[in-house]
């Protein structure tokens, strides 16, 4: 599992449904076998591990299947059978607009987020909670601290100073994880996503312990294109090299066995990003700019567009590695259907804005696909990539990798001071707003922004533990040729 991924049980449920969906699609009766998924997973008389009754369990499994079909649960009629929805998924010509959906059946309707005084309160003489609160929200009643919810600002200072840890903050996991306040309870008490605010970072997906926030899968669309005989080409982000127990060449061969016509490394496009962004950074500094931020993180780009428009003059105009890779693929194979293998949800949104990218598949979905077809990647043969990417490009997957790659291409005399924002949260967003407002970053002049802690390797769509994934990726990077600044060309060491 990734640094940000949801508890294993929810991931296991998602994977089992995806495996069953893929098998259903490959069967001789896709609609009927899709309809039977909740019943096959919870047959009559079986144990009910999570909910009050088997009917509730089946209802939630049904909704997870709807998301697996690539549809919004909020818009799906409960009275419509899964077999009908399966047929509708076959008629779809492009993915639905918003990549996330909420399973109201699974959403627990968490209590409101608030600061709460527990029974551990001793009513101590020092009363640090009362003295610390700047809003006069805490008083002593019957020898115990009491918080006035009308005055409380949820700052948490009283939580920090209580010597008995008697004051706690009750959080709603999805709301607490969202850095931009895009998810909150609606009138029915269940979580709702405001897509006008949402930056598609996927933090709510990872945070919900009930697995109630779900990505809308595009697996059926991809399977349909392969089955129809179209040339479908995979584009794999560098983070994929840390996910499965196999060599990169075995992974390519395994992906080809799924029916893909070819596999391109997105690190190939990252080399273009590195050269272009380095040149842009040099030109900006020579023109008097105080700083520039990188632009390859889709979550960060959404943040700038929706919440920090004042940052636009400071954000690099260079396109993402996915953009350049898809451009290369479409130039070489104009008739191809392109599928990006992604570590995060934000790339689904980026793909929808790029006509050269048709579909997105995350690593959870890829793993389910291998399981469904019984492919053991560690036992596959080997297939080399046609174009070798640099070590720096493959290292884009980890925090600091982009800034390091760009710095490699800059002339030594250029004053370059990298700053790394390792994951977007409320504090880092405040920092970015301050930099944009003041027109200067006191910490440095080349700011790399990654929405996920750890970089793409910590994305919500990854499947391997971060440290293990980093170890595998580092080995791959160390075996690669380096990009050096000599006429902006990649040369051998």
96 vs 90: CA distance, rounded Å: 13
Q: How many CB atoms lie within 10 A of CB 355?
A: 10
For residue 399, which of 435, 424, 427 has the smallest C-alpha distance?
424
CATH of domain 114-170: 3.30.70.20
63 vs 478: CA distance, rounded Å: 44
* Contact (CB, 8 A) for 359 and 222: yes
86 vs 202: CA distance, rounded Å: 25
- Give the burial class of 140: count Cβ atoms within 10 A of its Cβ; 0-12 exposed, 13-18 middle, 19 or more buried: middle
Q: How would DSSP label each residue in 335-395?
A: TPEEEEEESSSHHHHHHHT-TT--EEEEHHHHHHHHHHHT--GGGS-----SSPPPHHHHG
Q: How many CB atoms lie within 10 A of CB 287?
A: 7
Tokens of 153: 């600002």
User: At residue 489, does pLDDT exceed 60?
Assistant: no
Which residues are registered as beta bridge partners of 264?
A: 235
- pLDDT tens digits along 438-461: 999 999 999 999 999 999 999 999
pLDDT of residue 493: 29
Q: Which residue is associated with the tokens 């395994």?
A: 254
User: At residue 490, does pLDDT exceed 70?
Assistant: no
252 vs 255: CA distance, rounded Å: 5
Q: What is the mean pLDDT of residues 145-155?
A: 93
Q: Kindly indicate the confidence band of residue 388, based on its pLDDT and cuts at 50, 70 and 90.
A: confident
- Give the burial class of 313: count Cβ atoms within 10 A of its Cβ; 0-12 exposed, 13-18 middle, 19 or more buried: exposed
CA 30 to each of CA 53, 90, 102, 180, 254: distance values in angstroms, whole numbers, following the listed order: 27, 10, 25, 39, 24
Q: Which residues fall within 8 angstroms of residue 373, CB to CB, at 6 or more apart?
A: 22, 257, 258
115 vs 121: CA distance, rounded Å: 13
- pLDDT tens digits along 260-286: 999 999 999 999 999 999 999 999 999
37 vs 15: CA distance, rounded Å: 13
User: At residue 2, does pLDDT exceed 80?
Assistant: no
Find the Cα–Cα–Cα–Cα dihedral 197, 201, 207, 210, rounded to 10°. Answer: 80
172 vs 109: CA distance, rounded Å: 9
What one-character DSSP code corresponds to residue 130? Answer: H
pLDDT of residue 480: 87
Tokens of 239: 């983070």
* Contact (CB, 8 A) for 77 and 174: no
377 vs 371: CA distance, rounded Å: 10
304 vs 221: CA distance, rounded Å: 30
- pLDDT tens digits along 330-378: 999 999 999 999 999 999 999 999 999 999 999 999 999 999 999 999 9
Instruction: Kindly list the domain boundaries of the chain, sorted by start residue.
Output: 8-108+179-217, 114-170, 222-478
pLDDT of residue 6: 46
pLDDT of residue 303: 98
CATH topology of domain 222-478: Fe-only Hydrogenase (Larger Subunit); Chain L, domain 3 (3.40.950)
Between 416 and 78, the more confident residue is 416
Return mean pLDDT, the chain.
93
Q: Kindly indicate the confidence band of residue 78, based on its pLDDT and cuts at 50, 70 and 90.
A: confident
Angle, in degrees to the nearest 10, between helices 219-227 and 363-373:
50
pLDDT of residue 50: 79
pLDDT of residue 365: 96
DSSP helix/strand/coil, 432: helix
For residue 100, which of 23, 197, 168, 240 has the smallest C-alpha distance?
197
Beta strands 191-193; 183-185: pairing state = antiparallel
Tokens of 120: 């551990």
Q: Kindly indicate the confidence band of residue 407, based on its pLDDT and cuts at 50, 70 and 90.
A: very high
Tokens of 195: 């897509």
């Amino acid at each position: 599992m990734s640094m940000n991924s949801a508890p294993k049980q929810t991931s296991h449920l998602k994977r089992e449904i995806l495996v069953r969906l893929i098998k259903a699609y490959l069967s001789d009766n896709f609609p009927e076998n899709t309809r039977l998924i909740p019943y096959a997973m919870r047959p009559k008389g079986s144990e009910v591990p999570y909910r009050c009754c088997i009917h509730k369990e089946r209802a939630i499994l049904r909704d997870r299947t709807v998301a697996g079909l690539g549809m919004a649960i909020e818009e799906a009629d409960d009275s419509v059978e899964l077999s009908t929805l399966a047929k509708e998924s076959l008629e779809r010509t492009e993915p639905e607009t918003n990549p996330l959906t909420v399973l109201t059946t699974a959403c627990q309707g968490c209590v409101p987020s608030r600061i709460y005084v527990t029974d551990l309160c001793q009513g101590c003489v020092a009363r640090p909670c009362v003295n610390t609160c700047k809003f006069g929200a805490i008083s002593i009643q019957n020898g115990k601290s009491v918080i006035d919810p009308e005055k409380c600002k949820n700052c948490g200072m009283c939580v920090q100073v209580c010597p008995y840890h008697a004051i706690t903050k009750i959080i709603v996991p999805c709301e607490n994880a969202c850095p931009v306040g895009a998810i909150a309870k609606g009138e029915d008490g269940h979580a709702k996503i405001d897509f006008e605010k949402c930056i598609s970072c996927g933090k709510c997906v990872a945070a919900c312990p009930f697995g109630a926030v779900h990505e809308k899968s595009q697996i059926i669309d991809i399977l349909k294109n392969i089955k129809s005989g179209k040339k479908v080409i995979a584009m794999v982000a560098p983070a994929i090299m840390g996910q499965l127990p196999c060599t990169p060449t075995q992974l390519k061969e395994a992906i080809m066995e799924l029916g893909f016509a070819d596999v391109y490394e997105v690190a190939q496009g990252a080399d273009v990003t590195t050269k272009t962004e380095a040149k842009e950074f040099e030109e900006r500094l020579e023109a008097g700019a105080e700083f520039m931020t990188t632009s390859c993180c889709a979550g960060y780009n959404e943040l700038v567009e929706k919440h920090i428009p004042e940052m636009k003059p400071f954000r690099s105009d260079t396109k993402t590695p996915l953009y350049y890779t898809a451009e290369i693929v479409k130039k070489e194979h104009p008739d191809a259907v392109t599928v990006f293998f992604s570590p995060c949800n934000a790339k689904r949104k980026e793909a929808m804005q790029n006509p050269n990218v048709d579909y997105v598949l995350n690593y959870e979905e890829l793993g389910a696909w291998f399981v469904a077809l019984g492919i053991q990647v560690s036992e596959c043969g080997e297939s080399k990539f046609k174009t070798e990417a640099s070590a720096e490009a493959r290292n884009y997957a980890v925090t600091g990798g982009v800034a390091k790659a760009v710095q490699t291409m800059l002339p030594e005399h250029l004053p370059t001071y990298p700053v790394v924002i390792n994951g977007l949260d409320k504090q880092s967003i405040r920092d970015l707003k301050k930099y944009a407002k003041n027109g200067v970053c006191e910490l440095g002049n080349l700011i790399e922004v990654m929405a996920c802690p750890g970089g793409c390797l910590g994305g919500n769509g990854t499947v391997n533990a971060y440290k293990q994934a980093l170890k595998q990726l580092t080995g791959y990077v160390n075996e690669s040729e380096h990009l050096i600044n000599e006429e902006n060309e990649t040369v051998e060491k």
